[in-house]
Structure 1
Amino acid sequence: MTSITYRHADVDGFKVFYREAGRPGAPKLLLLHGFPSSSHMFRDLIPELAERFHIVAPDLPGFGQSDMPSRDSFAYTFDNIAHVIERFTEVIGFDRFAVYVFDYGAPTGFRLAVSHPERITAIVSQNGNAYEEGLSDGWNPIRAYWQDASPANREALRALLTHETTVWQYTHGVPDAASVSPDGYSLDDFYLSRPGADEVQLDLFRDYRNNVALYPTFQQYFRTHQPPLLAVWGQHDPFFLPAGAEAFKRDIPGAVVRFFDTGHFALETHATEIAAAISEFLVR
């Protein structure tokens, strides 16, 4: 039951890589990773949950082992990423599912929920933001690029794609950095170093402004449909503040919010604890 298989799906000619575990027929759980990661970030979580759920974790377009077509043939926007992942769920037969969203996975998953609310059985948000108060000052260089898409502002964001920054994302806010395996950030660094990957990520930095513009739409979905929602949050995240987790309760009074003494990549240090919280929440 806990064995993981590694597959590719043909999504209208787009190759999407995904990890799959659990028993077909069990409650479905879709795991959506963030920047600059891949489904590899779920390597510790999946075995913890596979006895109870049918789990699928795709690599987003342009990330990991999924296709990264040229920017001439595929516009790297979150609308397009969400469209590919929505079609992916249809291709593999994920008709009704709970969704785990993290970082970039949040605007992707929330778009799926807005588009097809009847398909979403629950939401687990792990540092997956939908409120402006959840955005820290760490977004200021990216905000500058939203306001002025100059070559200088674009070039300034290359600092966010370096090995040092990726390591910092994994270790900032973690009480003991030695508890963070180098495997995750080393693999992310490998994918970021591929030819053209830097320009893809800079395009997505620019497009992220459209996610913020959709926050009111996401919040209206929460208020209207009241999906069961669990927020499991690394409380020392330098990008997504605890206020973003608490804000879910404004629109979903029954939302459950849990904080963990760790940073942005909370699964690197608290996969077992987060898995236990997810199991308790989703089974209930």
Structure 2
Amino acid sequence: MMQSVESGHHLINGVNIYYEFYPNQNAKTVVLLHGFLSSTFTFRHLIPLLSKDFQILSVDLPPFGKSDKSKRFVYSYKNMAQTVIQIIDHFGIKEPVLIGHSMGGQVVLNILHLVPDIANKVVLLSSSSYLKRSKWTLRMFSYIPFSSFFVKRWLARIGVVKNLQETIYNHSIINKEMVDGYLQPFLQNKIFSALTRMIRDWEGDLPSKVLNQIKANCLLIWGEHDKSQPLHIGERLKEDLTHSKLIVLNETGHAIPEERPYEIYEHIKRFVKES
């Protein structure tokens, strides 16, 4: 049976951050960080499994999910990482296991870069890696009045269903609940202005020379058919992270918390128990 949840908002680093906290006294805490255009919703199948063995803090990274969609927040990985560090400190969590999916994985790596001893073990689920900063022309575009309107049109053209089909290998699991859950945060116009600001602030992924310095034990879990972050990215990341191992899930795409929650849970449980 899943533990009760405490959910709400805390003013952290100048913005209201939405969180879900699943207490489990005396258990190790895992911190869940979602990917781009996603939210805590992406972990809804994984959380009930993890709550049997761990205390859980799941965070909506701004401007996603139920967190603030401020035009003033700096949407860089560094600032997102600093925000999560402050949330961890707010809850008084010691030696958490950091778990990041896609963009959330890159935020985890930035956290380890800023505070190397914050965690000894981290799990990267199809982590965003090796992406370069946006071209200056695109960054300049973000300053143009009404640029957020074009961002909204671009996202509408992609559509939630098409995006899910790109990220999920087994299309048969896509249902109304899933589509509605990912669509919900984009029904507010505020998010498009924040995403436009994000184009400007995003500094690109950490380079190899920085990844080489990370000392934490890293478990990399990847989908065999990941189109967003292909398997060769995971293989390269394994080489750059000194203390890491890579697990590949067959017949799985990028959205592995949707497709393989039980397998991920088993791998995490085994990894955390290892000495």
Equivalent residue in structure 2 for 1:267, among 257, 261, 269: 257
- CA distance in 2: counterparts of 1:13 and 1:175, whole angstroms: 38
Equivalent residue in structure 2 for 1:172, among 144, 161, 166: 166
Alpha carbons 1:113, 1:120 under 8 Å: kept: yes
Alpha carbons 2:220, 2:238 under 8 Å: kept: no
Report which stretch shifted further, 243-252 or 145-154: 145-154
- CA distance in 2: counterparts of 1:200 and 1:248, whole angstroms: 29
- CA distance in 2: counterparts of 1:42 and 1:11, whole angstroms: 22
Query: Displacement of 1:95 after TM fit?
Result: 2.6
Report which stretch shifted further, 12-21 or 116-125: 12-21
Structure 1: runs of 5+ lacking an equivalent:
136-142
Distance change in 2, residues 1:215/1:272 (3 Å): same
More helix by share: 1
The aligned residue for residue 269 of structure 2 is 279
The root-mean-square deviation of aligned C-alpha atoms, in Å, is 2.6
The aligned residue for residue 138 of structure 1 is none
Q: Give the alignment of 1:149-168 within 5 angstroms.
A: 149=138, 150-151=140-141, 158=152, 160-162=154-156, 164-168=158-162
Give the structure-2-normalised TM-score.
Answer: 0.86
Matched, 1:66 2:50: no
| Deviation readout 1:70-120 (Å, 9 max, x if unpaired) | x1x323332222222211111111231111111221232112111111111
Distance change in 2, residues 1:166/1:203 (3 Å): farther
The aligned residue for residue 115 of structure 1 is 114
Structure 2: runs of 5+ lacking an equivalent:
none
Q: Give the alignment of 1:1-284 within 5 angstroms.
A: 2-5=2-5, 6-11=7-12, 14-69=15-70, 71=71, 73-131=72-130, 145-149=134-138, 150-151=140-141, 158=152, 160-162=154-156, 164-172=158-166, 174-208=168-202, 210-212=203-205, 214-216=206-208, 218-222=210-214, 225=215, 227-252=216-241, 254-260=243-249, 261-284=251-274
Q: Which runs of 4+ in 1 moved over 4 A?
A: 152-160
Distance change in 2, residues 1:253/1:84 (3 Å): closer
Distance change in 2, residues 1:181/1:23 (3 Å): same
The alignment-based identity, stated in percent, is: 22
Distance change in 2, residues 1:183/1:19 (3 Å): same
Alpha carbons 1:234, 1:262 under 8 Å: kept: yes
- Matched residue pairs, number? 267
Query: Displacement of 1:159 after TM fit?
Result: 5.5
